[in-house]
Chains A and B, each alone.
Chain A
Amino acid sequence: MSNTNTTDISRRKFLGSAAAATGLTIIPGVMLYEVAQAKPDDMAVTSEVRWGMLIDTRKCSEGCDDCVTACNTENGLTGHDRPETDVQWIRKLKLTDKQTGHVTSLPLMCQHCENPPCVDVCPTGASMKREDGIVLVDRHICIGCRYCMMACPYKARSFAHEVVTDQKVHAPRGKGTVESCTMCVHRVDRDGIPACVEACTKEDHNAMLFGDLNDSNSEISKRLAEFGGKQIRADLGLNTGVRYQGI
């Protein structure tokens, strides 16, 4: 066993430094995302980190849906050309100020609340929040009652109405259960970043930033401390993990 562990650690160190190098070289001086503390596969997540996202709506252009496409591809979300019932984990919103005509475009997904109403109302415990702040549906015990969909102020959850086949291995999903943004938990657990953030950064929009809200040295915390970031429906006191600038 000890052999296995040693190999594992050195591999992770290598990956960590490789990731750091990539992060640094794309745009010199700007870290696209902070290199997370490497978590061995057999270690449980802890509340020492709280994953969050910062979205700069001023950099988010109307008509761009790179994040939505990336999410659908990553998680194998396919539609049936029925917008009212097709699943969506992330969607683009357009807000128009009627007085000034100013248009704001932003992506909206599960806000990963600290006090999630969906978890409060779930009768089976399927709706749950991980220690690191990611809110998920445990579809092994979801009975498809959809109370959580009613409770969510952001309309962030979807119900799988149709039989699903050929799912992604890392994103199992099936008919009769509720699903929503997982903050690409399968990537995060392996020190990656969510697919939407990756796509936004790759296309050089840089409107989305992912990181640890508990770490005051992380890029996301620094930016939030300096420039602030709004919660949507802050009046509900949910303390969302996804924050917005420019709204």
Chain B
Amino acid sequence: MSVIEQIQKLKLLLAGLLITLPLSLQAGDVNLPQVPKAKANATEEHGCVTSVKDMRKNHMEYLLHQRDDTIRRGVRTKQYSLAECVECHVTEDTSGEVANFGEDKHFCSSCHNYVAVSIDCFQCHNDKPQGDGTMSSRDMPASHHNMAFNKHSETGATLDNQNSESGK
């Protein structure tokens, strides 16, 4: 087989791939998770307790850090408290029902079901808001940049993410 023939075969193969790739992507398509909207506090200005981008990427780190701080050192700040997440994010649907953890309508499971990541938080923690009050404006960060920096200097986590945002 000559070199030219080989190149031609390769070209055909690549062309075939280019045609079928979008098809295969479409074939595996599933509905993106419908994440319920938070009750309060989250605004365009400051997002969640930090920016939405940061929370999507690092919420598990914050929760892990907070849980050790709370149970072992008695630190009871609300910013990264799981109970506060549930209080604000787990909401009633139109018929007034609050979804259980595990159902697609539950804030946490809406994404976790989609990415097939099992979490065991709610084997012990309550998965529904108990109306103990969400964070008052007093507890909310004045701006998520400040807050993120304060926290990160302590945790040493994800400085890059915040730096790039603050640098804008």
Evaluate contact between A132 and B74: CB separation under 8 angstroms: yes
**Chain A residues, Cβ within 8 Å of B124:** 139, 164, 167, 172-174, 177
**A175 CA to B142 CA, complexed, in Å:** 40
- Shortest Cβ gap from B167 to chain A (Å): 21
**Chain B residues, Cβ within 8 Å of A42:** 75, 77
How does the 8 Å CB contact mask read for B122-138 relative to A, with 1 for contact and 0 for none? 01111000101000001
Compute the total of residue contacts between A and B using a CB distance below 8 Å: 63
CB contact under 8 A between A185 and B74, given known A167-B126, A172-B124: yes
Chain A's interface size range is 20 to 34
Instruction: Output the nearest chain A residue to B64 by Cβ-Cβ distance.
Output: A140
Enumerate B110-168 residues with CB–CB distance to A below 8 Å. 123-126, 130, 132, 138-139, 142, 146, 150
Asked if A4 is at the interface of the complex by the 8 Å CB criterion, the answer is: yes
Enumerate A1-53 residues with CB–CB distance to B below 8 Å. 1, 3-4, 7-8, 39, 41-45
Instruction: Output the nearest chain B residue to A137 by Cβ-Cβ distance.
Output: B71
Enumerate B57-101 residues with CB–CB distance to A below 8 Å. 67-69, 71-78, 83
**A173 CA to B124 CA, complexed, in Å:** 4
Evaluate contact between B126 and A44: CB separation under 8 angstroms: no
How does the 8 Å CB contact mask read for B4-16 relative to A, with 1 for contact and 0 for none? 0000000000000
**Chain B residues, Cβ within 8 Å of A138:** 71-72
Asked if A238 is at the interface of the complex by the 8 Å CB criterion, the answer is: no
**A228 CA to B68 CA, complexed, in Å:** 37
- Shortest Cβ gap from A128 to chain B (Å): 7
Instruction: Output the nearest chain B residue to A174 by Cβ-Cβ distance.
Output: B124
Evaluate contact between A130 and B74: CB separation under 8 angstroms: yes
- Shortest Cβ gap from A9 to chain B (Å): 12
Chain B's interface size range is 20 to 34
How does the 8 Å CB contact mask read for A163-201 relative to B, with 1 for contact and 0 for none? 110111100111101000000011001100000000000
Evaluate contact between A169 and B77: CB separation under 8 angstroms: no
Asked if A136 is at the interface of the complex by the 8 Å CB criterion, the answer is: yes
**Chain A residues, Cβ within 8 Å of B76:** 41, 186, 189-190
**Chain A residues, Cβ within 8 Å of B72:** 128, 130, 138
**Chain A residues, Cβ within 8 Å of B77:** 41-42
Selected from A4, A39, A169, the residue in CB contact (under 8 A) with B130 is: A169
Evaluate contact between A41 and B78: CB separation under 8 angstroms: yes
**A175 CA to B120 CA, complexed, in Å:** 11
- Shortest Cβ gap from A50 to chain B (Å): 13
Selected from A1, A130, A189, A190, the residue in CB contact (under 8 A) with B146 is: A1
How does the 8 Å CB contact mask read for A137-165 relative to B, with 1 for contact and 0 for none? 01110000000000000000000000110
Enumerate B6-34 residues with CB–CB distance to A below 8 Å. none
Instruction: State the 5 A-B residue pairs at the shortest beta-carbon distance, nearest first.
Output: A174-B124, A44-B73, A45-B74, A172-B124, A174-B123
Q: Give the interface of A toward B (CB within 8 A).
A: 1, 3-4, 7-8, 39, 41-45, 128, 130-132, 136, 138-140, 163-164, 166-169, 172-175, 177, 185-186, 189-190
